[in-house]
């Protein structure tokens, strides 16, 4: 099943022109994509040379088991405190701490999946994962991936400054086998209320004060393993912890039938669809979908009944 992709920042022609000008005059990139954004970290993150050059590989601690509950973390790097780069109130600090502690773990048929909130030093590899997925879904020439990465980087910097009212989740996957590495498999963005709402939300416009899920994608080499499904489940679980609202919204393009089927099986229904005139703005028509989350106590029971989706 294809990755579920929702581009939630504006790419109208005027925006592209302005960014394109700044891109060529203010930014210098190397030819190899793994070195375009200089990482702020050296250990324990390395770029994988096995398959997909944007994969993030994390060595596992041999003293930890992969069969623990959803609070399990595969290495000490999962304990790094989150930072936003701005002053936070005591209440915001408590919410940020809750985000930093959030963990989701799932055993899959082919391996194991850990999900938690993205750290600042992981932004660049996440940018490349999103940029490549967006470029593929928009049928853009490969030469435009660097330009798309530049746009995504600016967007993610702005979104990160809004934490703890929004968060980007990362899914780390480890193939079955003793020597398998833990690698970045997918990502999804979650907004909890109007303070973290996107000012340029895609149409049809969701309610600003309701939780919103977007920008979900899975690495091309790791699709059809259930990763997309569990990124969605992790998003819903985190929303249940961070938001008082249980009404969750997301977008799905009309042409993306596989993600649409996944969302429907997860309990989402279409509430509105773009009219045909959106094509005049060079955008694909999209469905706005909605779901009321169950109470936290019954959320795990629902997951057990529906976790057979392959995505």
Supply angle C-alpha 219, 217, 179, rounded to 5.
35
Burial of 126 (0-12, 13-18, 19+ CB in 10 A): buried
Q: Within 10 A of 276 (CB to CB), how many other CB atoms are there?
A: 8
Q: Report the candidate in 148, 161, 231, 242 with the shortest Cα–Cα distance to residue 189.
A: 231
104 belongs to the catalytic site: no
In Å, what is the CA distance from 73 to each residue of 6, 63, 249? 28, 11, 29
The catalytic residue among 102, 155, 263, 268 is: 263
Catalytic positions: 263
């Amino acid at each position: 099943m294809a990755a579920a992709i929702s581009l939630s920042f504006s790419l109208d022609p005027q925006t592209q022109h302005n960014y394109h000008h700044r891109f060529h005059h203010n930014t210098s990139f190397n030819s190899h994509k793994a070195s375009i954004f200089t990482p702020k970290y050296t250990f324990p993150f390395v770029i994988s040379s096995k398959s997909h050059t944007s994969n993030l590989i994390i060595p596992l601690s041999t003293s930890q088991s992969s069969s623990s509950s959803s609070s399990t973390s595969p290495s000490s790097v999962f304990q790094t405190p989150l930072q936003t780069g701005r002053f936070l109130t005591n209440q915001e600090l408590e919410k940020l701490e809750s985000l930093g502690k959030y963990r989701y773990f799932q055993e899959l048929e082919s391996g194991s999946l850990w999900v938690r909130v993205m750290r600042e030093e992981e932004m660049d590899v996440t940018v490349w994962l999103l940029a490549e997925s967006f470029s593929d879904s928009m049928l853009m020439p490969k030469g435009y991936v660097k330009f798309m990465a530049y746009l995504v980087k600016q967007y993610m910097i702005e979104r990160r400054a809004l934490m703890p009212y929004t968060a980007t989740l990362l899914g780390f996957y480890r193939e079955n086998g003793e020597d398998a590495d833990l690698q970045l498999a997918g990502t999804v963005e979650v907004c909890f209320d109007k303070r973290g709402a996107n000012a340029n939300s895609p149409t049809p416009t969701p309610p600003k004060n309701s939780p919103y899920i977007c920008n979900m994608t899975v690495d091309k080499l790791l699709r059809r393993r259930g990763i997309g499904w569990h990124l969605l489940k992790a998003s819903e679980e985190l929303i249940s912890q961070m938001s008082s609202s249980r009404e969750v919204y997301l977008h799905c393009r009309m042409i993306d039938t596989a993600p649409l089927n996944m969302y429907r099986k997860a309990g989402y229904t279409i509430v509105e669809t773009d009219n045909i005139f959106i094509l005049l703005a060079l955008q694909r028509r999209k469905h706005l979908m909605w779901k009321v989350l169950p109470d936290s106590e019954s959320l795990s029971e629902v997951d057990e009944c529906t976790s057979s989706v392959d995505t």
